[in-house]
Amino acid sequence: MVQVRRVQPDGGMNDSTMIGGVHLALIGGSGTFSLNFPDDLEYPGVRVLERDLVLETPFGSSPPLKLFSLPTDPPRRVLTVKMHGRLPGVSWGDASRRLFWVFKAAGVKKIVAEGGVGSVNPLLDPLDLVIPTDYLDFSLRKDVSLGEDFLCIMRQPICPQVHRALAAVAKSWEFGRVFTRGTYVVTEGRHFESPAEVSMFRQWGGDIVGQTLCPEVYLAREIGACYAGVYLVVNYGEGVVKPWEYDVLRNIFFDQAAPLGRMLLQALQEVPLDPCCCSGFRKPTLLHEGNIGKGRSK
């Protein structure tokens, strides 16, 4: 357990609050945005333990978090945040840094993310679900990290264990098709992409496009947590198949939130909590002052 100061709604500080023993996090995105998650789902045995949990971090106040427990034995505790923890007037990279600082303090080891994405691969249609295995980062948020202690190796960026659990649960639900391989192209946003950009992403091997997988995947690796996400295709990328329709996107936004939310609650119960191979991709940095002068001369 770590002592962290809680920020009051008026900006004042509360007494220290203890945070720890939280093994799982769910980063909510546009897929569940229209829900008061998880309350609205009335999922048997899910209990909300804390609401509006805003904590002081070295990078500023965290986004408001919710802590809930799952009907597992013992009950799993999950921290969740809306819309990837974005905060008004704060850059998306900085908001992510505050969020992951809290995850680290709480002891989070497994992270599941969700969101809506555009298609880049012409085989995809709206309502398809993609659980990607890799990414191409075209965002400008390159230097987002909590510190300089680690060399983060991105050889296998998505956790195979969390990915497997998400895929198994997704296939048992009545969504459209489920794709368990794919490359997520990350753009800076907030706007969508141009036809020429989508065409380039396709030629470079992208399958879907969105704005959130990076830097989350970097920060997860930095705090030693496993990370995987599930993404609902809500529109065709520009120039792919046919012009997408706002009504279709809006209907998916409202109609699919509850089934997606329930599927995520089931997946969070089934993600293995054991250590996995992801931890081997984080190494201590060699770039610290103590190593100066230690170079071996021949």
Using the rule CB under 5 A, give the single segment among 89-97, 152-160, 213-221, 280-288 that binds Zn ion: 152-160
Q: Helix, strand, coil: what percent of the chain each, to 5?
A: 30, 25, 45
Interaction of residue 278 with Zn ion, rule CB under 5 A:
yes
Using the rule CB under 5 A, give the single segment among 58-66, 68-76, 160-168, 287-295 that binds Zn ion: 160-168
Selected binder of Zn ion within 108, 226, 232, 265 (CB under 5 A): 226
Using the rule CB under 5 A, give the single segment among 21-29, 49-57, 130-138, 159-167 that binds Zn ion: 159-167
- Minimum distance between the CB of residue 183 and Zn ion, rounded to whole angstroms? 19
Contacts (Cβ under 8 Å, ≥6 apart) of 183: 132, 133, 134, 135, 136, 205, 206, 207, 208
Q: Which is nearer to Zn ion, 102 or 278 (CB)?
A: 278
Interaction of residue 225 with Zn ion, rule CB under 5 A:
no
Which residues are bridge partners to 7 per DSSP?
13
Contact 67, 76 (CB under 8 A): no
Q: Residue count at the site for Zn ion (CB under 5 A)?
A: 5
Selected binder of Zn ion within 50, 175, 276, 281 (CB under 5 A): 276
Interaction of residue 117 with Zn ion, rule CB under 5 A:
no
Selected binder of Zn ion within 159, 209, 228, 230 (CB under 5 A): 159
Helices marked H in the chain: 92-106, 160-171, 195-203, 213-222, 246-255, 257-270
Using the rule CB under 5 A, give the single segment among 40-48, 65-73, 203-211, 272-280 that binds Zn ion: 272-280
CA 141 to each of CA 67, 72, 95, 250: distance values in angstroms, whole numbers, following the listed order: 28, 37, 11, 28
Return contacts of 43-47, CB within 8 angstroms, 24+ apart: 43/262, 43/265, 44/71, 45/70, 45/71, 46/70, 46/71, 46/265, 47/75
Q: Which is nearer to Zn ion, 81 or 159 (CB)?
A: 159
- Minimum distance between the CB of residue 160 and Zn ion, rounded to whole angstroms? 7
Chain positions contacting Zn ion, by CB under 5 A: 159, 161, 226, 276, 278
